[in-house]
Amino acid sequence: MSRYLTIGLLTEGPEDEIFLGIVAVRQLKALTARHPEPFDVGDVPLRSTCSTARTPHERICAEVTDLAGDCDLLLIHNDHRERNKIEKIRQDVTLPPHCRIVGVVPVRETGAWLLADGPLLASLPGAVPELIPPDGRGIERTADPKALLSRVLPGGDNRELADFLGERIDLDRLHTLPAYQLWCAELTAALKELRFL
């Protein structure tokens, strides 16, 4: 009988929630597919009404405590400049033994991860392919990924784009980004602690 992994997600904003929720489920399913004893992953993370950027720390901690009762993994997103918030949550919340927190911290912001699949972006109507950084390190050196993404795909709806890219982005291309590699390593370590891997 296969085990069932439940994940929770707290993010800074709605586009982050859409994109990261989809990518997290896809990445976890890719990890279990390579494991000799697979586990099932819920298709939709349990989501918080809090914003890790705008909600007071005490309320976020209360939400984490609440979600931790129902989740094996809690994915907490902050942009790079706010990464210390995740560590503060870890210090201030006592998790049940069956739950782990894994930080999701793109360099600069989630927009960097949306830029990872150059061929996919270039294939979209109205795209300006020459603006797409050629590799992961170039993407992470981009000072304002969100602004660059809006220049690569001018006039697009950010939520629709987050959904579209979340479903279709090449995970191997995402894996060229050092921050994504670090997240995958932390995810794998947490799953090993929980004996899913």
Give the start-to-end residue ranges of the domains of the chain.
3-193
Antiparallel, parallel or unpaired: β 73-77 and 7-11: parallel
As a whole number of angstroms, the distance between CA 130 and CA 132 comes to 6
Give yes or no for a contact between 152 and 127, defined as CB atoms under 8 angstroms apart: yes
Mean pLDDT on 103-128 = 91
- State the angle between helix axes of 14-33 and 158-168 in degrees (0 to 180), rounded to the nearest 10: 0
% of residues, the chain, pLDDT over 70: 99
Q: What does the mean pLDDT of the chain come to?
A: 91
Mean pLDDT on 16-23 = 95
Banded model confidence at residue 106, pLDDT cuts 50, 70, 90: confident
As a whole number of angstroms, the distance between CA 177 and CA 137 comes to 6
What tens digit of pLDDT does each residue of 141-191 get? Answer: 888 888 999 999 998 788 899 999 999 999 999 999 999 999 999 999 999
As a whole number of angstroms, the distance between CA 77 and CA 104 comes to 5
